[in-house]
Amino acid sequence: MELWYTENHTDDIKFSIRVNKQIYSEKSEFQRIDIFDSEEFGRFLTLDGLMMLTEKDEFIYHDMIVHVPLATNPNINNVLVIGGGDGGTVRELTRYPSIKSIDMVEIDKMVVDACVKYIPQTASKLSDPRVTLFYEDGLKFVRNKVEKYDLIIVDSTDPFGPGEGLFTKEFYGNCFKALTEDGILVNQHECPYYTDFARSMKSAHKKIRDFFPIARVYQAHIPTYPSGHWLFGFASKKKDPIKDFNPIVWHDFNLKTKYYNTDLHLGCFALPNYVKELLESVAVE
């Protein structure tokens, strides 16, 4: 018998992983949560059937969503993570002794509980004393915060489910308000290749650009995400990810990373022409 997990990346493209065993399957108030074991990618988590992370390649996403902003501003003290129920983003953040507090707002407690139980690789640092967990809507949480965070990381699902509110103008505006004057907003920014994802990516970029004087996009290569080519948004009030980047300060943290390095920091902002054109087309709109 063969058991396969399949995700439709588009109506005409399927991505499949052979599964050894299904570990967990529940429906929460917000979504369906599944955890599988596989040969090639180890244990992996899906939400509403969409790939969130695998044990084998999660380091790429979590390295890039955390170390790029932290290397840009090593003085970040207070961090807000929106989404990120698997705990991977928080795990990378806790490696910085300079960070004083991490608030994580995840709408779905069942995701966190499942990951704590079944995916300790990412969830193990959620018990760090600097971490406070809030189980509520991210848009709601950020609405009442004023100049409180140096960094907001939006580690969300795609904008067609519980994550929808995290791709809106009101959300980005509320984030701007919640950030300190050096504040940085990093978000998972979808993929540029397939049309539907590219549309979300453009729409998010346009909305962020309207608020933040610095709005850049950087990339990483993630085998289990649609097209394998994934983007992140880097928006900030003052700090430029290239001009204000000081590799020496980051090296002082003495962190061993599997994907991120300070050469890549500069390189990841260099985008293919078709992606640049997509982003520039937003500027004209």
Nearest approach, Cβ of residue 157 and other proteins (Å): 13
Among 108-116, 138-146, 180-188, 220-228, the segment contacting other proteins (CB under 8 A): 138-146
Of the pair 162, 192, the CB lying nearest other proteins is at 162
Q: In what order do the strands lie in the sheet with 78-83?
A: 131-134, 101-105, 78-83, 149-155, 179-188, 229-236, 214-221
Q: Judged by CB under 8 A, which stretch of 83-91, 134-142, 151-159, 271-279 contacts other proteins? A: 134-142
Q: Is 12 a catalytic residue?
A: no
Asked whether position 183 contacts other proteins by CB under 8 A, the answer is no
Among 5, 36, 96, 171, the residue binding other proteins under the rule CB under 8 A is 171
Tell whether residue 169 is a contact of other proteins (CB under 8 A): yes
- The residue among 14, 23, 81 whose CA lies nearest residue 54 is 23
63, 103, 155, 158: which one is catalytic?
155
Question: What's the closest the beta carbon of residue 140 comes to other proteins, in angstroms?
Answer: 5
Beta-carbon neighbour count of residue 216 at 10 Å? 21
Q: Does 137 interact with other proteins (rule: CB under 8 A)?
A: yes
Residues linked to residue 33 through DSSP beta bridges, in sequence order: 26, 47
Length of the chain: 285
Q: How far apart are CA 216 and CA 280, in angstroms?
A: 11
Q: Is 174 in the site for other proteins (CB under 8 A)?
A: yes
Shortest reach from residue 168's CB to other proteins, in Å? 6
Chain residues binding other proteins by CB under 8 A are: 137, 139-140, 143-144, 162, 164-165, 168-171, 173-174, 177
What residues act catalytically?
A: 155
